Amino acid sequence: MAIFVNADTKVIVQGLTGGQGKYHGLRNKAYGTQVVAGVTPGKGGTDVEGVPVFDTVAQAVAATGATASFVAVPPKAASAAILEAAAAGIAFIVCITEGIPAQDEAKVFNTLLRNHPKTRLLGPNCPGIISPGKCNIGITAGEIAQLPTAKGPNVGIVSRSGTLTYQALYELKQRGIGVSTCVGIGGDPVPGTNFIDCLKEFQADPETHAIILIGEIGGSAEEEAAEYIKASVTKPMSAYIAGVTAPEGKKMGHAGAITSGGKGTAKGKMDALRAAGVKVGLNPTEAGDLMAEILASMAR
């Protein structure tokens, strides 16, 4: 099993005819993902290396039965693209677009919540999701993800940082540790999917035996996750929080990565996770080492 996406997931790429959409969409297809269509207004009836292109998401869904969408369009068009996909019945939307104003993100989030409660948005400004060997939607390189094994143990990954998502995957691959699903939720202030959403799915997934959480400074998502872990997660976890040396009041990387008034600090998040029973590493490699130790103890 896996969470959110699997080998049966049929994907459309909104923006397949653009540079980024074509590059990453075809990489996803080459990985084995069922990329069944592209959507670009005005280019319906054409194709991109054999993948048919439609003018609207509704047309693409009707023709292919797609249930997931990869949104790779510029910031000005991204909000409309997400809502178009939801209106067409797409259940899972991955938006990699960065630079969407927080106000627009909030409007989209609340519109989905109100009008399309069965649609899940991942992102925006995220690397996407990969269930190794089954499905890859987004910009993650499939070759750095270790395939899960039938007996396990396999690890689920959830991360706010794109780059550290890749490092977490590679740290596990170097140790021969399989990954059930890796979810990059993105670091913007209003993510469509949060830590708790992913932790809930990993806890219920029989193929996931342990979990790595990668967080960063800013906001309260990690502290909220720690409370949820304490109450509802029984699977062992390791974690890493980026931004230990970040000066207060200065944005670091993601729009949501800013500490203010003593809140949102790396130390506060690390303390909260430790109090919830999570083993916290001081760098990504140490988080990988801690996970290897956890799995070794499970095998005894």
Instruction: Indicate which residues carry an active-site annotation.
Output: 254
SS3 sequence of the chain: CCCCCCCCCEEEEECCCCHHHHHHHHHHHHHCCEEEEEECCCCCCCEECCEEEECCHHHHHHHHCCCEEEECCCHHHHHHHHHHHHHCCCCEEEECCCCCCHHHHHHHHHHHHHHCCCCEEECCCCCEEEECCCEEEECCCHHHCCCCCCCCCEEEEEECCHHHHHHHHHHHHHCCCEEEEEEECCCCCCCCCCHHHHHHHHHHCCCCCEEEEEEECCCCHHHHHHHHHHHHCCCCEEEEEECCCCCCCCCCCCCCCCCECCECCHHHHHHHHHHCCCEEECCHHHHHHHHHHHHHHHHC
24: exposed, middle or buried (Cβ count in 10 Å: 0-12, 13-18, 19+): buried
Joined together, the tokens standing for residue 160 give 């706010």
End-to-end distance of the chain based on CA atoms, in angstroms?
Answer: 24
